[in-house]
Amino acid sequence: MEKKPCGCGNKKQENKEIVREEKNFSETPLTHGNSIMKGISMVQSYAISLISRGISAKKVEPTTKKLRTLSCFGNKDDGGDLPPCSHLMKSETEGKFYCGACGCGDKKTTWLNGKDTEYSKLDYPILTCPITMPGFNNYSPSTPDEWKEPISRKKYIETMRMSDVTKVNITINETPLSVLEMLQKIQQNNNETNNGQSDA
């Protein structure tokens, strides 16, 4: 399986396994500078994403997250034809994945997936993609080169029916993380109180 550089110069990350199914689609080229955020590096874009989260840990609306999920993970797990992005990388942490092209590395804040009680990178209200895929704030439509067979993954997503996009499985938690943390603390306090009373 061919390995692609992640763009951050970190050999340890570049040697990690790339999650890629058999190649049925052409590649959309890396176009860091060709975006609405022209002139801003991917790391700077990520810093903007962090700010967009805000103190209330607000999340992007579900349809955008479904498009981002398709762009990164494809839909083979949901019975579709679209394989994962060739830049998707397995984290050293079991079950987590991160983008190998954005240069932000493998850490909790860069994981693309998470449980509904977690805040994954795909939840950020503002988020850019190194290949400007659908659902990201720097999205740019596929070029005519990508319409030729085999079409690119980007072109495939662009021509999907909305009803198929809405079927995409995502973990969306509409309750802000800060509220969840507060609820968990209350639950923990109640448990401690109950345990104290039963010990008495």
Q: Which pairs count as long-range contacts for 19-24, CB under 8 Å and 24+ apart, including other chains? A: 19/84, 19/88, 19/89, 19/90, 19/97, 20/83, 20/84, 20/86, 20/88, 21/74, 21/76, 21/83, 21/84, 22/83, 23/83, 23/150, 24/81, 24/83, 24/150
Tokens matching residue 19: 């999650």
Distances (CA, A) of 6 to 71, 106, 127, 172, 198: 17, 11, 18, 28, 55
Q: Which is nearer to ligand SF4, 40 or 180 (CB)?
A: 40
Q: Does 85 bind ligand SF4 (CB under 6 A)?
A: yes
Q: Does 99 bind ligand SF4 (CB under 6 A)?
A: yes
**Residue of 130, 137, 139, 170 that binds ligand SF4 (CB under 6 A):** 130
* Count of residues near ligand SF4 by CB under 6 A: 12
Q: Which is nearer to ligand SF4, 38 or 199 (CB)?
A: 38
- SS3 readout for 82-105: CCCCCCEEECCCCCCEEECCCCCC
Q: Which is nearer to ligand SF4, 55 or 70 (CB)?
A: 70
Q: Does 71 bind ligand SF4 (CB under 6 A)?
A: yes
CB 8 within 8 A of CB 105: yes
Q: Does 101 bind ligand SF4 (CB under 6 A)?
A: yes
Q: Which is nearer to ligand SF4, 26 or 71 (CB)?
A: 71
To ligand SF4, the closest distance from the beta carbon of 130 in angstroms equals 5
Q: Which is nearer to ligand SF4, 122 or 173 (CB)?
A: 122
Binding mask 172-191 for ligand SF4 (x = CB under 6 A): --------------------
**Residue of 88, 104, 157, 170 that binds ligand SF4 (CB under 6 A):** 88
CA–CA separation, 180 and 41 (whole Å): 33
Q: Does 170 bind ligand SF4 (CB under 6 A)?
A: no
Binding site for ligand SF4 (CB under 6 A): 71-72, 85, 87-88, 99, 101-102, 129-131, 133
